Amino acid sequence: MPYLSWTEGTQLIRHGLQERCVLGRDPLTCTLAQPNHPELSREHAQINRYSGIWWVRDLDSSNGTFLNGLPINHPHGNALKDGDELVLGGWTIRFTEGFPGLDGATFIERVGDLFQEVKPEPAQAMALVRGIELLHRSTENLLREMDPEAMVKGLLDESLRLLGGDRGFLVMKQPDGTWRTAYRVGDVQEGIGLSRSVLDYVGREQTAVLSNQPLADPRFGGFSLVELHRGSLMCAPLGEEGDLQGALYLDRESEGQPFSRFDLALFQAFVRQGSLALRQAMLHRRALSQAELHGELLRLRHERQRELDQHGQLLAAMATPIRRLRSWSEGLSGTSGLAIQQQLSQLCELMEHGQQADQAEAGAAAGHPWRLEQIQEEVIHRWGPLAHIRGSLLAIDDAPRGSAWVGNGPVLTALSGLVEPVLMQLGSGGSVDGRWDTERGCHVLRLAFPAGLHSPVPDPWTQRVLREAGVRWTWNDQMLSILLPEGPDVQPEEPNRPLLGLVTDELTLLGLFQTVAEVSDVWLFPLEEEPPLPPLPRFRFLVVDAKGVRDPEACILAYRHHPSFSTTPILVVRCAEEDTPRLMQAGATDWLAEGFRWEALHHRLQVLRGHTELQQRALAAERLDSFRKMAGTLKHEINNPLAIILMQVEMLQRKYPEETKLAKIGEMVERIRGLVQVLQKMRETSTEDYADGSSILKLG
């Protein structure tokens, strides 16, 4: 951070530059004011930053502002460099890139590399050779460690050995801005020997610092005298430029053992090399984790293939006794025997389909046309005996001429899985009436059931087969409507699976979340900590790993303000209990602590899905109610003017019967009245629910 500094008497005054700064005499309008300098203007000069460079601009040409003895004449101002001197009237100010007023011996920062700090003297040259030798040896010892945790400890141990420190701390920066001690060496006590004010200064300035008199160091300001000792200290940031990960902190307990400028340069060089080595070790560990994950995926694939083989063997073993039962059932007479034969035939069909599915490669769904008469014969043959057993009657009107496009596979068996559970609810003396209809490029078989029967709830396999075959169904007013597409061109497209967004840097979690995604019927979609630009596909869930991102609170806030995630449930995993309130306040919907299993994660996602669906239904109902109220208001407001217009048109027609335009106006008025009647129907009509949760208004 750059500073402005000036002397008032014998005291050096410092001001850190973080934003635009106005200099002058008026304390109400200026950032820095000197009311006792009459030669200053009310607003004399301004210092601001553009494209990372600080500029000074003169605001009053009559009094003038001087930079290094020369007046500032450029209308946009002049760029400032480290050590520049500004003169405003009698006020002299110095601009420095670092903390001003350091003596270069007791208080030091912003040193160069080793070769820049060594003077051309024999003693200095020997110190450089000795320092490079020690640095090489310490770095070599550090690089022997491949584990990041061991390297963190080695980094601190080698720095103490290299520079002769008594104690040391390696601290890591937390997402909330606090510091956490990762490793410490020497005679240390909790809360003593580690200055938070020094760490905050190093983190803010991004520079290595040295202080041989910490209690008198102006940079730390005596924020906490208890935590500082009288011995010398050095502290350097850990991490690359602009990506602070932590800091290395060394001190000497006794006075009279100062660090030198060369020590700080040596310490700075070692920490930079250590940061690079630590980063390489973390990348190496990540690569190993990815390799282990790839091996685990190969193992799971082999396990899945083995389970498929066992599944096929089991189906083949089951086929023999079922075929034997089917053969014996052929000797049964009556409707009950026929119903048993039909159920056994369906079992055989399902087993054959299961064996084919185990051996087939995934490919594009195919189909073939079926005549409607053939479909009707099949469904009566399958469902008629079952209705007869329940003491009821199934009657379907003759099918019209035409055909429907049905996908390959046991589609009729899946239709039985949809209809037969409803047939099993029939009581004695009931009847099911069926008729054929057409609707939106589909042939529709409508089955009217007696009152009191529940809506069908097909199993997942039945739902999937019907969806892949292009067959849809609705249930409304005890009427089951089965929609069969007329051809492949009108077959509904397979809807895209919703996405499960995952924000984490831990590759080891991908296998767990991939399992949960498959069970939850969603696609796993890895995301960065910064949300991508819109537009985006729809996400059913967003999961944020609290330990896999640098700042989970900022990440949740960013996604919650993103238009594609404003209403998406956000689940935070590996979340510490003490962090839960602020993460929930940032926009998280729910959380899971560390150590969760995939079953708990799957259950939590299903709970969030149900909560979201309830919210959407409540919102849809509220919108529909508002729409109906608006329709009633519009009908009332439109009918009154229409009546007046129509009355005036009739009067004009009597007066000017030859005018044809008046008849056209009357025709348009009647047309508007018809639209108003549609608005009235919107208020009074019921809604029809579909299997996917959608609903429409029935206006016809």
Instruction: Tell me the per-residue pLDDT of 627-682, one tens digit each, with 9 for 90 and over.
Output: 667 666 666 677 777 777 878 878 888 888 777 777 788 788 787 777 777 666 65
Q: Indicate if the pLDDT at residue 442 is higher than 60.
A: yes
| Contact present, 554 and 511 (Cβ < 8 Å) | no
Query: Cα–Cα distance between 445 and 483 in angstroms, integer?
Result: 7
**Tokens 């009597």 belong to residue:** 654
Domain count within the chain: 5
Which residues on neighbouring strands pair with residue 383, listed in sequence order? Answer: none
Q: Indicate if the pLDDT at residue 153 is higher than 50.
A: yes
CATH of the domain at 418: 3.30.565
Comparing CA positions, the residue from 446, 396, 389 lying closest to residue 423 is: 389
| Contact present, 376 and 396 (Cβ < 8 Å) | yes
Rg from Cα positions in the chain: 40
pLDDT of amino acid 143: 65
Q: How confident is the model at residue 361 (pLDDT cuts 50, 70, 90)?
A: very low
Concatenate the DSSP letters of all residues of 504-544 into one string: -S-GGGHHHHHHHHHHTT-EEEEE-SSPPPSP---EEEEEE
Question: What is the mean predicted confidence (pLDDT) over 580-603?
Answer: 82
690 vs 93: which has the higher pLDDT: 93
Best-predicted range by mean pLDDT (134-143, 180-189, 526-535) = 526-535
CATH of the domain at 64: 2.60.200.20
Q: How confident is the model at residue 244 (pLDDT cuts 50, 70, 90)?
A: confident
**What does the pLDDT look like over 390-415, one tens digit per residue?**
888 999 999 898 888 877 668 888 88
Q: How confident is the model at residue 189 (pLDDT cuts 50, 70, 90)?
A: low
Looking at the structure, tell me whether residues 359 and 393 fall in a common domain.
yes
Q: Indicate if the pLDDT at residue 622 is higher than 90.
A: no
Looking at the structure, tell me whether residues 589 and 638 fall in a common domain.
no
Q: Indicate if the pLDDT at residue 84 is higher than 90.
A: yes
CATH of the domain at 208: 3.30.450.40
Looking at the structure, tell me whether residues 520 and 648 fall in a common domain.
no
Looking at the structure, tell me whether residues 435 and 546 fall in a common domain.
no
Looking at the structure, tell me whether residues 175 and 46 fall in a common domain.
no
> Is residue 303, in this structure, part of any structural domain at all?
no
Residue 52: give the domain boundaries: 3-96
Q: Indicate if the pLDDT at residue 690 is higher than 50.
A: no
503 burial (CB, 10 Å; 0-12 / 13-18 / 19+) is buried
Tokens standing for residue 545: 């790993």
Question: What is the mean predicted confidence (pLDDT) over 506-512?
Answer: 68
Looking at the structure, tell me whether residues 170 and 221 fall in a common domain.
yes
- Mean residue pLDDT across the chain: 78
> Is residue 278, in this structure, part of any structural domain at all?
yes
Query: Cα–Cα distance between 84 and 104 in angstroms, integer?
Result: 18
Looking at the structure, tell me whether residues 111 and 92 fall in a common domain.
no
> Is residue 611, in this structure, part of any structural domain at all?
no
Q: Indicate if the pLDDT at residue 18 is higher than 90.
A: no
pLDDT of amino acid 422: 86
**What does the pLDDT look like over 28-41, one tens digit per residue?**
889 999 888 888 88
Question: What is the mean predicted confidence (pLDDT) over 571-580?
Answer: 88
Looking at the structure, tell me whether residues 339 and 469 fall in a common domain.
yes
pTM: 0.43
| Contact present, 399 and 349 (Cβ < 8 Å) | no
> Is residue 324, in this structure, part of any structural domain at all?
no
Comparing CA positions, the residue from 248, 262, 156, 242 lying closest to residue 199 is: 248
Looking at the structure, tell me whether residues 566 and 673 fall in a common domain.
no
Q: How confident is the model at residue 228 (pLDDT cuts 50, 70, 90)?
A: low
How far from 401 is each of 394, 438, 486, CA to CA, in Å?
Answer: 21, 12, 12
Q: Terminal CA-to-CA distance of the chain, rounded, Å?
A: 72
320 burial (CB, 10 Å; 0-12 / 13-18 / 19+) is exposed
Q: Is 634 left (phi over 0), alpha (psi -120 to 50) or beta?
A: alpha
